Amino acid sequence: MTSDYKRFALTRAGQAVVVVLLAYVLTFLVISVLPGDAITNTLRDPQHGLSEEDIQRIVAFYGLDQPVIVQLLLSLGRFLTGELGFSLQSNLPVSRIVGDALPSTLTLATSALVIAVVFAVVIAYGAQYLPGKWAAIVRSIPSFFLSVPNFVIGLVLIEFFAFRLHSFTTTDPNSPVATLFAAITLAIPVSAPLAEVLIASLDHESRQEYALVARSRGLTEATLFAKHLVKPSALPSVAMVALIVGELLGGSVITETIFGRDGIGTVVQKAVTGEDQPVLQAVVSLSAVVFVAVNLVADLASPLLDPRVKLREKVAA
Amino acid sequence: MILKTKDTNVSADLLTVRGLSIAYGSTAVVHDVSFSLAKGGSLALIGESGSGKSTIAKAILRLLPHGEATATGRVELNGSDVLALPEKQFRPLRGRELGFIPQDPASALNPVRTIGAQAHEAAALLGETDPAVRRAKILEVLDQVGLPDPARVYDSYPHQLSGGMLQRVLIALTVLPQPSLIVADEPTSALDVTVQKLILDMLSDLRRELDISLLLITHDLAIAAERADSLVVLKDGAVQESGASRDVFASPRTEYARSLQADVPALHPDRYRRKRTLLTQANDGGFRTDTAPSPTAQLQIDVRGVTKSFPAGGKDVLACDGVTFSVERGRTHALVGESGSGKTTAVRLLLGLEQPDGGDITVAGQSTSGRSRADVREIRRHLQLVYQNPFTSLDPTWRVGRIVREPLDQFGVGTKAERTHRVSEALEAVGLPSDVASRRPAHLSGGQRQRVAIARALVVRPDVVVLDEPTSALDVSVQAGILELLTTLQHELGLTYLFVSHDLALVRQVADTVSVLRRGQVVEDGPVEEIFHRPRHPYTRALLGAIPLAAVSTEEQTALKQPAKATA
Amino acid sequence: MTATLGYPQLRNVGTASKRLTAGLPPITVILSFAVVLLVILWSLVPWLFTSYSPVTGDTASKLAAPSAQHWFGTDYLGRDQFARVVYGTASSVTSALVAVLIGLVIGSLIGLASGFRGGWLDSVLGRFVDVLLAIPGFLLAVVIVSSLGFQTINAAIATGVSAVAVFARLMRAEVMRVRSATYVEASYLEGGNRLHALLGHILPNAYRSVLVLAVLQFGTSILIIASLAFLGYGDPPPASDWGLLVASGKTYVTAPWLVYAPALVIVGTVLSVNRISRWLRKAK
């Protein structure tokens, strides 16, 4: 590892930490803008069945009777030590709620990511190598994917495959087939920007002089694609994949609701309707951590994949 | 040895093109082109942009974007038509029989793969499957093209090598499978002029050794005449004239070929001499027999010992190292150098776009260092710049009238009516019709855009105009028009020019005095005739030697040139 | 630096003028404009398109399939579904406009300052934009809506805030690209100051890409707001935001038109907006 790279890695990592902290603060400020005594309302809601003692303990724990800044610092301090607080609705530790919900969402998100990449590659390859009219149709697919809201996709898939074809039932959301369809729902809007970036890269690289020169050496289109076009086209796509992680997390809220899955998305749903701030705070902050971490990995990997990437910001002349 | 292009014996010709026509959709770009190339010979396709020369080259290699272009006619390689062959049968010919050298070496290699990895593709054409043997052959050919450390080059990425080295690599890879024909598309126009000569020499040597024929595509008539046995002159996709190089060159028959020949700077060094002589008379109020600077003439620009370095890749690169030159009022001084010579930096320091680390810059007797912003602005008013690239120096969202008026608006000159009047004056002076003012740059040709840039520079009536390679982005026929214009304007308006160029032959036509720069230092300076007839520094000599046709004997040159004009 | 420019760059001089004088846009673009125009009219003057009420219905004809009297059928309260869709357009579409405006204005200002000034301002603003990007857009919108209250206008604000980052990034990239253009440097030599460079050269050359993005974001915002409404985070019933219509319709499995009608309207609108955006991008 060269020292340039080490410096680059440290700078990026440092920036990542700053961003996570700021994200936490921003989320906290937004959430705590709740008018008036909403927290106390939630706490005192007889549905939640908390005793006066419990309520006082919670108030003390979160510093709810103190100014916002103090609450923020308390909360941030705890976050940094991994302590995520307790749900206002159920009094369960947030970490447990999140932990229970995580596997379902992870399965969903990873399958969706894989499917999205497959879709994107197939679309991009088709756009490049299919004959004229078909290629034009394929090229407009990403735009179409972006025009359909994912709840419509989900409902249509359920209508068709669950109710008509009985491929799966909505009562068992964690069955492989149900998960597959949920993943497809989540993958479709996410695959669109990925496909567009891939298509643009392939178009760009295919028109480069070196592609012409390689063809002049008798390379077939297939070999050209594999040996020359894939690598430089893959690089902007890797960056895009990192950005997509955010879309996956966001889209899971609706997808899980529709398919009745018990994941992070459903947790968020419940927390919003129940005005359960600690849970919301924790989920959003953790999402930011995941996003920043994935992007950091992508950033650190890019100089290794592309020898041209400059590690130092050029000084403006 | 002059090879006849009349195909008396068809089977002796390696490549025969008959009635080739190419169209993009419904637009025909190449009309009925025919020529032939004998085995072991060389033929140059000459033309400006839009002449179709590159398209023809790609058609021969069948590398035109399929579906977009249709080609009709016959292209015979060793007697059999290859245009009609199905792709599967044609593909084995690529690389093995037909090689291709592209124009820009920097973009001709995949930037994310090593040279060695890409070289294996060329080596595969030899039919050799053992990677060790392939590697040996690759290293051998890299050595053959004069690369000093083949093993290091093998492991390098393209961006780590210079343009000249990359072109050597490309030539090596093309030559490795020993094709019978190489198609070279402007193989040296992206390179410095001294490197150009080395590359072309090397290519000639290889051709002789390996008995390879060459189809050379170029816009440069001089290079074509020097390096090819026969020529085909193209314009707008049709053949204007063809024949043996010496014949076409010495006595062109068509109007177009004649104008191309007339525009080669190296052949007509005295083209603008008459105008410049008049100018000298006007400025000095008397007759002069030479163009040496007189000690009493006022110095418009005086640059002394200027240094400037830039940080690049961790180190500091010295762009200007004690550069000194001066320009007399009303004269043209040229800064000549290749890339990295510092000529552009020197000019930017003069204009105040960069600040010098050391040294002095004086304009019209006033120093520019350590002045306030307002003062520097005043000085700039009398110093204007015409950029090299007319495609990027004009704002595409502005109309021409506003572009030319911008300096007047910004410097607050005159009333609105006066400004409009000055703009039309300027446009007229540069030979543009008045309706051009309401158009956008995108609707204008390269030459027209450069005229707009010149008009913009002149509209504030500066004393000095800095011209940064003002014609290198333009076709050769347009070039002459711009230079003609510049000379006329200098004469009419008494301007002082600082002319930056890499082209010594061009400089000889337009400048009075020259400074030759190399790696940030002035290696030689003096009057233009001195530099050309009695160069002192080896680098100057190398630059002069690299001008195409320099090797042509002086008698032949005299026969080709116009009779020398008597100096006043 | 190369000695001469590559010839391929000189080729395209004439083609620009050809493109600008080309005839009508393609048929799909014209159709798209028509759809968008229709939707805008629905949101401005819904009563011109239907005589039915979106809030009261005739329970006798509830859950009726689409017919000549009820183009989109009726819902469980006998309300005309077409009228519900048309009257719901105002909040679905106007809110998207609000969202885009928020993102465009705030994001552009940030991007402009970042790209033009550079230095520490760029670093600081850059971190802020990174933070907005780090929080998944939809989640951020959800959180903001839950704080401000469940109304469509708040959903619009929330969507706008999560769009700020995208606009800021693009504007910054465009400003930096144009800032280093030769004609900008030339304007300094001609006596121009930085403000002139910014207003006269940088903005006019940078805004085109941003405009294309704005149109695209309009479509995206419609989707996000519809999704928020679907989850119940928009105006409560009897409002008829498109997303809410889908949500309330999905429980009536025997009346699929309750879901498909608003769904098709959403898809049709966003598809048209996307088509227009693509056309604008090509025509740049």
Window 24-83 of C: residues touching A by CB (8 A cutoff) are: none
Tokens 């830039």, residue located: B310
The answer to whether C174 and C165 are in contact (CB under 8 A) is no
Cross-chain residue pair C270–A146, CB shorter than 8 Å: yes
Q: How many domains is chain B built from?
A: 2
Number of C-beta neighbours around residue B2 at 10 A: 12
Residues A232 and A126 reside in one and the same domain: yes
CB pairs under 8 A between A and B: 73
Nearest alpha carbon to residue B390 among B304, B269, B252, B482: B482
The pLDDT tens digits of the residues spanning B213-238 come to 999 999 888 888 888 999 999 998 89
Å from C132 to nearest chain B CA?
A: 33
d(C-alpha B545, C-alpha B307), whole Å: 29
CA angle A300, A302, A305 (to 5 degrees): 125
Run of H or E residues at B216: strand B213-218
pLDDT confidence of residue B322: 87
Cross-chain residue pair C136–A287, CB shorter than 8 Å: yes
Does B52 map to a domain?
no
Å from B173 to nearest chain A CA?
A: 9
CATH label, C27-283, candidates 1.10.3720.10, 3.30.9.80, 3.30.1490.190, 3.40.50.2000: 1.10.3720.10
Kindly give, in sequence order, each residue whose CB lies less than 8 Å from that of residue A304, ignoring residues fewer than 6 positions away: none
Q: Is the peptide bond before C238 cis (omega within 30 degrees of 0)?
A: yes
d(C-alpha A267, C-alpha A97), whole Å: 8
Helix (H, G, I), strand (E, B), or coil: what is residue B435? helix
The answer to whether A151 and C227 are in contact (CB under 8 A) is yes
DSSP result, chain A: --HHHHHHHHHHHHHHHHHHHHHHHHHHHHHTT--TTHHHHHHH-GGG---HHHHHHHHHHHTTTS-HHHHHHHHHHHHHTT---B-TTT--BHHHHHHHHHHHHHHHHHHHHHHHHHHHHHHHHHHHHS-HHHHHHHHTHHHHHTTS-HHHHHHHHIIIIIIIS-SS-TT-TTSHHHHHHHHHHHHHHHHHHHHHHHHHHHHHHHTSHHHHHHHHTT--HHHHIIIIIHHHHHHHHHHHHHHHHHHHHHHHHHHHHHHT--SHHHHHHHHHHTT-HHHHHHHHHHHHHHHHHHHHHHHHHHHHH-TT--SSPPPP-
Residues B519 and B489 reside in one and the same domain: yes
Q: Which domain holds residue A72?
A: 1-89+276-317
- Nearest chain B residue to A209 by CA distance is B108
Nearest alpha carbon to residue A268 among A31, A82, A50: A31
Residue among C142, C148, C278 whose CB faces A268 most closely = C142
- Nearest chain A residue to B92 by CA distance is A218
Does A229 map to a domain?
yes
Half-sphere exposure of residue B438, counting CA atoms within 13 Å on the CB side?
A: 2
C74 DSSP assignment: B
Residue among C118, C147, C227 whose CB faces A31 most closely = C147
Number of C-beta neighbours around residue B321 at 10 A: 16
Highest mean pLDDT out of A241-250, B115-124, C37-46, C98-107: C98-107
Residues B484 and B539 reside in one and the same domain: yes
d(C-alpha B519, C-alpha A61), whole Å: 70
A contacts of B111 (beta carbons < 8 Å): 210, 232, 307-308
Residues A286 and A234 reside in one and the same domain: no
- Nearest chain C residue to B500 by CA distance is C3
Looking at the complex, does the CB of residue A136 fall below 8 Å from at least one CB of chain C?
A: no
pLDDT confidence of residue B557: 52
The pLDDT tens digits of the residues spanning B4-63 come to 444 444 456 888 888 899 988 888 889 999 998 988 889 999 988 888 888 898 888 888
The answer to whether A84 and A93 are in contact (CB under 8 A) is yes
- Name the neighbours of B, counting chains with at least 3 Cβ pairs within 8 A: A, C
Nearest alpha carbon to residue B44 among B202, B325, B249: B249
Residue among A210, A305, A317 whose CB faces B108 most closely = A210
Does A258 map to a domain?
yes
Nearest alpha carbon to residue B404 among B439, B452, B445: B452
The lowest-confidence range among A127-131, B400-404, B441-445, C4-8 is C4-8
C61 DSSP assignment: G
Tokens 């109710």, residue located: A163
Cross-chain residue pair A152–C147, CB shorter than 8 Å: no
Residue A115 belongs to domain with CATH number: 1.10.3720.10
Å from A42 to nearest chain C CA?
A: 13
The mean pLDDT value of chain B amounts to 83
Q: Which token pair is B427? A: 């446009």
Residue B355 belongs to domain with CATH number: 3.40.50.300
- Nearest chain A residue to C142 by CA distance is A272
In the predicted model, is pLDDT for residue A213 greater than 70? yes
pLDDT confidence of residue B290: 43
The pLDDT tens digits of the residues spanning B471-496 come to 888 887 788 889 889 988 888 888 89
What are the domain boundaries of chain C? 27-283
Residues B406 and B437 reside in one and the same domain: yes
pLDDT confidence of residue C167: 93
Does A97 map to a domain?
no
Å from C7 to nearest chain A CA?
A: 13
The pLDDT tens digits of the residues spanning B159-177 come to 888 888 899 999 999 988 8
Residues A313 and A225 reside in one and the same domain: no
Q: Which token pair is B324? A: 């000194």
The answer to whether A186 and C136 are in contact (CB under 8 A) is no
d(C-alpha B383, C-alpha A292), whole Å: 51
d(C-alpha B147, C-alpha B157), whole Å: 15
C contacts of B191 (beta carbons < 8 Å): 2-3
Residues A263 and A314 reside in one and the same domain: no
Cross-chain residue pair A228–B113, CB shorter than 8 Å: yes
What's at B100, amino acid-wise?
A: F
Q: Which token pair is C262? A: 């608003």
Residues B518 and B548 reside in one and the same domain: yes
In the predicted model, is pLDDT for residue B208 greater than 80? yes
A contacts of B102 (beta carbons < 8 Å): 209, 212-213
What Å distances lie between residue A75 and A32, A72, A285, CA to CA? 12, 5, 12
What Å distances lie between residue B42 and A287, B4, B83, B135, CA to CA? 66, 11, 21, 30
Residues A176 and A235 reside in one and the same domain: yes
Which residue did the predictor score with more confidence, A30 or C156?
C156
Which of B410, B444, B461 marks a domain boundary? B461
Confidence bin at B517 (pLDDT 50/70/90) = very high
pLDDT confidence of residue B414: 85
- Name the neighbours of C, counting chains with at least 3 Cβ pairs within 8 A: A, B
Tokens 């400074």, residue located: B515
Looking at the complex, does the CB of residue C19 fall below 8 Å from at least one CB of chain B?
A: no
In the predicted model, is pLDDT for residue B537 greater than 80? yes
Residues A129 and A202 reside in one and the same domain: yes
Helix (H, G, I), strand (E, B), or coil: what is residue B478? helix
Window 96-135 of C: residues touching A by CB (8 A cutoff) are: 118, 127-128, 130-131, 133-135
- Nearest chain B residue to C178 by CA distance is B395
Residue among A34, A250, A292 whose CB faces C147 most closely = A34
Residues A162 and A245 reside in one and the same domain: yes
Does A95 map to a domain?
no
CA angle B304, B308, B312 (to 5 degrees): 165
In the predicted model, is pLDDT for residue A116 greater than 90? yes
User: Which spans in C180-202 are helix H?
Assistant: 182-189, 194-196
In the predicted model, is pLDDT for residue B505 greater than 70? yes
Cross-chain residue pair B121–A217, CB shorter than 8 Å: yes
pLDDT confidence of residue B564: 38
Q: Which token pair is B478? A: 């347009």
Residues A221 and A290 reside in one and the same domain: no
Residues A139 and A193 reside in one and the same domain: yes
Does A51 map to a domain?
yes
pLDDT confidence of residue C281: 85
Q: Which token pair is B274? A: 């008459």
The answer to whether A272 and C146 are in contact (CB under 8 A) is yes
Residues B457 and B498 reside in one and the same domain: no
Interface test mutation site (partner A, options B112, B126, B189, B349, max chain A beta carbons within 10 A): B112
Residues A40 and A118 reside in one and the same domain: no
Residues B356 and B496 reside in one and the same domain: yes
Cross-chain residue pair B112–A306, CB shorter than 8 Å: yes
- Nearest chain C residue to A287 by CA distance is C135
Residues A65 and A171 reside in one and the same domain: no
Looking at the complex, does the CB of residue C234 fall below 8 Å from at least one CB of chain A?
A: no
Quote ipTM for the complex.
Answer: 0.83
d(C-alpha B482, C-alpha B450), whole Å: 8
CB pairs under 8 A between A and C: 127
C65 DSSP assignment: P
Residues B413 and B482 reside in one and the same domain: no
- Taking residues A130-150, report their average pLDDT: 88
- Taking residues A219-229, report their average pLDDT: 82
Window 184-243 of A: residues touching B by CB (8 A cutoff) are: 208-210, 212-220, 227-228, 231-232, 235
Please state whether the predicted TM-score (pTM) of the whole model is above 0.90.
Answer: no
Residue among B190, B387, B446 whose CB faces C10 most closely = B446
The answer to whether A153 and A188 are in contact (CB under 8 A) is yes
What's at B166, amino acid-wise?
A: L
Looking at the complex, does the CB of residue C186 fall below 8 Å from at least one CB of chain B?
A: yes
In the predicted model, is pLDDT for residue A93 greater than 60? yes
Window 197-236 of C: residues touching B by CB (8 A cutoff) are: 200-201, 204-205
Does B216 map to a domain?
no
Window 181-220 of C: residues touching A by CB (8 A cutoff) are: 219-220
Which of B461, B481, B502 marks a domain boundary? B461
d(C-alpha B417, C-alpha A274), whole Å: 71
Residue among A209, A218, A228 whose CB faces B92 most closely = A218
Axis crossing angle, helix A52-62 with helix A68-80, rounded to the nearest 10: 80
- Nearest chain A residue to C126 by CA distance is A19
Å from A212 to nearest chain B CA?
A: 7
CB pairs under 8 A between B and C: 102
Looking at the complex, does the CB of residue A233 fall below 8 Å from at least one CB of chain C?
A: no
The lowest-confidence range among A78-82, B108-112, C86-90 is A78-82
Cross-chain residue pair C246–A250, CB shorter than 8 Å: no
Residue among A213, A306, A312 whose CB faces B108 most closely = A213
C contacts of B219 (beta carbons < 8 Å): 7
Query: Helix/strand/coil (H, E, C) string of B100-122?
Result: EECCCHHHCCCCCCCHHHHHHHH
Q: How deeply is B8 buried, as exposed, middle or buried, from its count of CB atoms within 10 A (0-12, 13-18, 19+)?
A: exposed
The pLDDT tens digits of the residues spanning B288-333 come to 334 444 444 567 888 888 888 888 767 888 888 889 998 888 889 9
The pLDDT tens digits of the residues spanning B135-165 come to 998 999 888 888 888 899 899 888 888 888 8
Residue among C4, C187, C189 whose CB faces B351 most closely = C189
pLDDT confidence of residue C38: 93
Half-sphere exposure of residue B485, counting CA atoms within 13 Å on the CB side?
A: 24
The mean pLDDT value of chain C amounts to 84
Residues B546 and B476 reside in one and the same domain: yes
d(C-alpha B499, C-alpha B490), whole Å: 12
Which residue did the predictor score with more confidence, A239 or B17?
B17
Q: How deeply is B32 buried, as exposed, middle or buried, from its count of CB atoms within 10 A (0-12, 13-18, 19+)?
A: middle
Axis crossing angle, helix A230-259 with helix A176-206, rounded to the nearest 10: 150
- Taking residues A185-209, report their average pLDDT: 88
Does A23 map to a domain?
yes
Residue among A212, A219, A227 whose CB faces B102 most closely = A212
Q: How many domains is chain A built from?
A: 2
Residues B401 and B489 reside in one and the same domain: no
Does A99 map to a domain?
no
Cross-chain residue pair C143–A284, CB shorter than 8 Å: yes
- Nearest chain B residue to A228 by CA distance is B110
Percent of chain B with pLDDT over 90: 20
pLDDT confidence of residue C11: 30
Interface test mutation site (partner C, options A19, A140, A157, A314, max chain C beta carbons within 10 A): A19
Kindly give, in sequence order, each residue whose CB lies less than 8 Å from that of residue B104, ignoring residues fewer than 6 positions away: A209, B190, C6
Residues A126 and A193 reside in one and the same domain: yes
pLDDT confidence of residue B562: 44
Which of B461, B496, B511 marks a domain boundary? B461
C contacts of B193 (beta carbons < 8 Å): 3
Does B407 map to a domain?
yes
d(C-alpha C96, C-alpha C241), whole Å: 12
Q: Which domain holds residue B544?
A: 299-382+464-561
pLDDT confidence of residue B296: 45
